[in-house]
């Protein structure tokens, strides 16, 4: 079918169709099923980032993003912190996100929750912008609740593994591995986003 369309639209040229061309895609899919590392790079379809809180700056940040935390500090919420820019080549087994010293948002939180967003544009300031959409949450559990929130620090790493994203989290005080996962809220097509 494809070779016929090529011959029809490019009649002034000779089309060479190799033997077994119809099986090329199938052979590639089977080979990829055995060894995902044969795909050396993927291109990021979107700009990916996380929602963070940073120091609120009067005149720079919109008032609707102002929040005051339990310590009385003025913060700007819903800031988009990008970790992978649209069009970036992502290598197999590459670390795409690394964050040191994450802490729970509230003192009573038994977990660290990091909302993950994607943007259709490269330069996004807030997760509430029209170009942004929510993908899911990266969640780290198993924190030591016997210590203050400020000391419940974790290091988080996301590694690209072909069609998978591997998440690792470590308690910075003890070096203990923590449970970490990405809840994509039935986003089965996450593989197609990177």
Confidence of residue 128 (pLDDT cuts 50, 70, 90): very high
140 inside domain: yes
What tokens does 185 get? Answer: 């809220």
Please state which of the ranges 49-58, 169-178, 181-190 shows the lowest mean pLDDT.
181-190
Instruction: Tell me which of 3 and 108 has the higher pLDDT.
Output: 108
Which tens digit of pLDDT belongs to each residue from 129-173?
A: 999 999 999 999 999 999 998 899 999 999 988 777 899 999 999
Which tens digit of pLDDT belongs to each residue from 29-73?
A: 787 777 877 777 889 999 999 999 999 999 999 999 999 988 899
Please tell me the distance from the alpha carbon of residue 171 to that of residue 173, in angstroms, as a whole number: 6
7 three-state secondary structure: helix
14 inside domain: no
What tokens does 20 get? Answer: 């077994």
The pTM assigned to this predicted structure is 0.75
What tokens does 85 get? Answer: 């820019």
- Which pLDDT score, from 0 to 100, does residue 187 have? 52
156 inside domain: yes
| Residues 70 and 106: beta-carbon distance below 8 Å | yes
70 inside domain: yes
CA distances from 180 to 9, 25, 143, 172 (A): 53, 35, 11, 14
Domain total of the chain? 1
82 inside domain: yes
23 inside domain: no
Residue 99 sits in a domain of what CATH number?
2.60.34
What tokens does 150 get? Answer: 């400020």
5 inside domain: no
For 90, the domain range is 39-187
> Could you tell me where the DSSP H helices lie in the chain?
2-9, 24-34
């Amino acid at each position: 079918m494809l070779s016929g369309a090529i011959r029809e639209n490019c009649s002034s040229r000779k089309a060479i169709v190799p033997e077994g061309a119809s099986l090329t895609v199938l052979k590639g899919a089977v080979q990829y099923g055995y060894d995902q590392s044969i795909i050396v790079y993927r291109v990021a379809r979107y700009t990916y980032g996380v929602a963070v809180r940073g120091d609120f700056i009067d005149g720079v940040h919109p008032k609707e993003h102002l929040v005051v935390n339990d310590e009385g500090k003025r913060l700007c919420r819903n800031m988009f912190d990008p970790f992978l820019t649209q069009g970036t080549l992502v290598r197999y087994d590459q670390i795409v996100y690394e964050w040191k010293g994450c802490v729970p948002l509230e003192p009573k939180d038994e977990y660290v929750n990091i909302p993950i967003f994607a943007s259709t544009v490269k330069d996004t300031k807030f997760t509430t912008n029209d170009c942004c959409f929510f993908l899911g949450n990266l969640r780290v559990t198993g924190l030591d609740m016997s210590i203050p929130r400020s000391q419940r620090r974790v290091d988080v790493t996301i590694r690209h593994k072909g069609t998978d994203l591997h998440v690792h989290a470590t308690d910075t005080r003890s070096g203990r591995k923590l449970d970490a996962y990405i809840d994509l809220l039935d986003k089965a097509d996450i593989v197609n986003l990177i």
